[in-house]
Amino acid sequence: MAEPAVMLDGISKQYGSFLAADNISITVPKGELFGFLGPNGAGKTTTIKMMTGLLEPTDGTIEIGGVDMWKHPLQAKKKIAYVPDHPTLYEKLTGWEYVRFIASVFGIPARQAEEKAVRLFDLFSLGSRADELIEGYSHGMKQKMALTGALLHDPDVIFLDEPTVGLDPKSAKTLKDLLRQLCDDGTTVFVSTHILEIAQEMCDRIGIIRDGKIAALGTMEELRGESSASLEDIFLELTGDEEQQELIRELAGGRSDAP
C-alpha cells in the first residue's frame, strides 16, 4: 500500500450515551478515491467533521499525511480542503473576493491564485458570475464556488460531503472527471455520497458505515466476493433494508393502481 494520506485509528465520538462513531479505523493511501457510504444518520458527516477538525473525537487519532489533526491542526489543515453538503459561504463577498480570501489564508501568491481561479471558474462555468455576490448564486453555483475555493491551494486531501447534490448533470460529470484526474495526479479524495452509481463507477475503495461502525471496507471486487451483486445490493444487505423493502411492497399492494 502507498503511503497513507489519511489514517483514522480507533476514532469514536460520543454524545452523552449516544455513540455517533464507534472505533472507526480506516487508512486511505495517497492518490486514492475513497467512497464513504451509509444510510442517513449512520455517522458519515460526523466522521468527516472529525477528520477536518470540526469535531473533536472522544477517542482515537486522525492523521493527515502523517500529521495529527488534533495535535497539530494548522499543519494538518494546510494539507486538506473540505466541501460540506450545504456549504454556507460568505454570502456578502463576490466570487473573486472569496477566492482572494482563501488565497490570503493559504498564502498563495496573487498571480498563481488568479490563474488557478480563472481555470477553475472556467471549468465550473462560473467566470461570468464571479464578480457577483455569492448570495445571488444558486445552490449548485455555491457548491461549485466552494469547490473552487477547496481546489485553489492544491490540497493533498479533499473531503467532499455529498458533492453532487445540487449540481446539474454537466457539472456533476465535470466534477467526477476532475476528481478522477486529481487522484491520478496524486491527490487523495475522501467522498461521502448517497449516490451508489458514483461510488461504484469512480471509487477505488469503498467504506460502508452503519450505526457508527464500519460495516464493510474494500474495493468493489472485495465487497462483492464471489457473488455478482451490485453495490446497491451490497449496501442494502449491509444496512438492513429488508424491513423497508417489505413495507414498500405492502404500501404498493394497498393501492389500486399499484404495479
Partner 1 sequence: MIRTLLGVQARMLKHTMETNKTGTNVSHAIIGFVVILFLLFALNIVTSLPTAYDTELVELLFSYVFMMVLGLILLMGVPQVFKHLYASRDLTFLFTLPIKVSHIFWVKYIQSFLNIPAALFIVTFLPGLAYGLHAGVHGFFYPALLVVTLAIPALGVAAAYFINMGLVHIIPAKRANELMTVMSAVSGVLVYGMFQLPNLLTEPGPGSETALPTGLLPEMPAWLPMSWGASALTSAMAGDVSFLLPTVGLAVAAAGLSFAASALVEKGFRSGWIQLNEGKNKKKKAGEKGRRFKVGSPVAEIGWKEWRYMKRDIREWLIFMPFVFLFIFMGFGYTAGSSSVAAFRELDPVLSWTAVQAAALFIYAFFNGSLSASFVAREAGSTWMLHVLPLTGVQIACGKLWMSWLIPFLPVSVLQMTAGILLGWPVSFFLLGLVLSALISPALSALGIWTGAIGGKYNPSNPQNRLQFAPSLLMLVLSYVYVLLTLIPVLLVVVPAESAGLFEKVAGGGIIGGSASAAASLLQLKLTNSALVTAGSILVFLFLTIGTCVAFLYLAGRRIEQGIQVSMPDSKE
Residue 117 or 234: which CB sits closer to partner 1?
117
Count Cα atoms within 13 angstroms, Cβ side, for 103.
Answer: 17
Q: How far is the CB of 232 from partner 1 (least distance, A)?
A: 31
Q: How far is the CB of 130 from partner 1 (least distance, A)?
A: 9
Residue 109 or 254: which CB sits closer to partner 1?
109
Distance separating alpha carbons of residues 216 and 206, to the nearest angstrom: 8
Length of the chain (residues):
259
Binding stretches for partner 1 (CB under 8 A): 52-56, 73-75, 77-78, 80-82, 84, 88-90, 92-94, 96-97, 100-111, 113-114, 117, 131-133, 135-136, 138
Q: How far is the CB of 117 from partner 1 (least distance, A)?
A: 8
Do 81 and 182 contact (CB within 8 A), yes or no? no
Q: How far is the CB of 150 from partner 1 (least distance, A)?
A: 9
Distance separating alpha carbons of residues 57 and 250, to the nearest angstrom: 42
Rg over alpha carbons for the chain, rounded to the nearest Å, is: 20
Residue 49 or 176: which CB sits closer to partner 1?
49
Distance separating alpha carbons of residues 148 and 145, to the nearest angstrom: 5
Q: Is 33 exposed, middle or buried (0-12, 13-18, 19+ CB in 10 A)?
A: buried
Residue 70 or 204: which CB sits closer to partner 1?
70
